[in-house]
Chain A
Amino acid sequence: MMNYIWVGLVAIAVITGIFTGNIADVQSAVFDFAQSSVDIVFGLIGIMVFWMGLMRVAEESGLTEKIALFVKPVMTRLFPDVPADHPALGAIVMNLAANVLGLGDAATPFGLKAMKELQTLNKTKDIATDAMVMFLAINTSSVTLIHTTVLAMRSSAGAAMATDVVGPIIVATVISTVTAVIAVLLLGKLRIWKLQNVIDKERAAGTLVLNPDYKEWEGLPAKKGISIDGRVSE
């Protein structure tokens, strides 16, 4: 999709430029901004190099695990379908802890592992479970407290105090995460998205695919489970 957007931008720019007579400006924009991008990145390199070094130190010192300990009690509440000792929870917690520290590259492998573990708790092959949707929503709302790339870009652009946005970013990102959690909880109750309804609809349409990798787990919370075959389970 980005392909169409970019080509659209350039095409519209040139055509508009011809009509408004600004075509000379459009041409110099190409040269000027190509140079701009290099200037910006040059300004970025220093702080990125410093920050990555710092974050590696944080990682090596086990700070991620420490943060994970704080995060865990909250997580067991947000993911009631996942047993407390299931590896999925561990991976979820590490992913979020790494994201909080701004370690995007460390967070992603944990995130992928979390999804794979959550899939073993999924009775269907291709329908997202409540835990998966919650995990994804929290992730995409961003839990990163100190967003270095933005700070570095501000600094590179000559900000008087690049970090004056740190507080607002924290506020905005907390608001977005809270919104994500509430949205998942509420939307999940709607008829069209309720997991049991989706499964029933799929079964009726004959497209329900069972998950061959589903693993029964001791200690799954005792509540009415999701029923695959239309029978109510205990």
Chain B
Amino acid sequence: MFIKVMDFLALYAIPFVVFAIPVYAIIKKVKVYAVFVDGAKEGLTVAATILPFLCCMLCGIGMFRASGAMEWVVGILSPVTNLIGMPAEILPMGIMRSFSGGAAQGLLADLLTNYGPDSLVGRMASVAMGSTETTFYCIAVYFGCVGVTKVRHAVVAGLLADLASLLAACFVTNIIWG
């Protein structure tokens, strides 16, 4: 049943959005075509912004992998992560999500390239990446803009949420594709 819902979403969620938004907009008398084209330009900026991060991280990680150091790290982490059904390869990215979105994206790209997007690792990493924002960045920006330095339990709560999303990603991915 759960898997059926997931499959349904995979097939219909985006087509629904692609249908519903323009139709809703045209009813609201929005100049859909013109607005679309105008907003689409931002897509180029996003892609251009991502490239330096991606290049930097992919090269760094690629080197790390090629030297054999990554195997060593994974070897150390595996006994622990295997207990919960998480491939140890995901852990660096899982942790990095809390610190730097750009770096985490780079790590995701590396995993997708090396293991393929349809592998368990590729899928789990994708789910993990898509389910959380960069905790420390958010804290820095949002509290920084009002000068609040004593953030109380914000960091712990944020990190707990990050951990929950990583475990949830592992769990759900294993249910469907494990």
Contacts and interface: CB of A to CB of B under 8 A. Distances in A.
Interface of A: 1-2, 5-6, 9-10, 12-17, 20, 22-23, 25-26, 28-30, 32-34, 36-38, 40-41, 44-45, 48-63, 105, 108, 111-112, 115-116, 118-119, 122, 125-128, 132-133, 135-137, 139-142, 144, 146-147, 149-151, 153-154, 157-173, 175-177, 179-180, 183-184, 187-188, 190, 193, 195, 198, 202
Contact of A184 (B68, B113, B157): B157
B168 A146 contact: no
A128 B151 contact: yes
A151 B124 CA distance: 13
Interface in B1-31: 5-11, 13-14, 17-18, 21-22, 24-25, 28, 30
Looking at chain A's contact residues, is the secondary structure mostly helix, strand, loop, or mixed? helix
Nearest to A40: B109
7 contacts: A36-B109, A63-B24, A150-B108, A163-B10, A172-B128, A172-B130, A180-B158
A110 B69 CA distance: 43
The interface size bin for chain B is 35 or more
Given A52-B46, A176-B161, A153 B105 contact: yes
A139 B169 contact: no
B172 A44 contact: no
Nearest to B13: A166
Interface in B40-57: 40-44, 46-47, 50-51, 54-57
A103 to B, nearest CB: 10
Contacts of A171: 6, 168, 172
B113 A36 contact: yes
Best-buried of A20, A22, A159, A172 by chain B (most CB within 10 Å)? A172
Contacts of A184: 153, 157
B76 interface: no
Contact of A157 (B25, B116, B141): B116
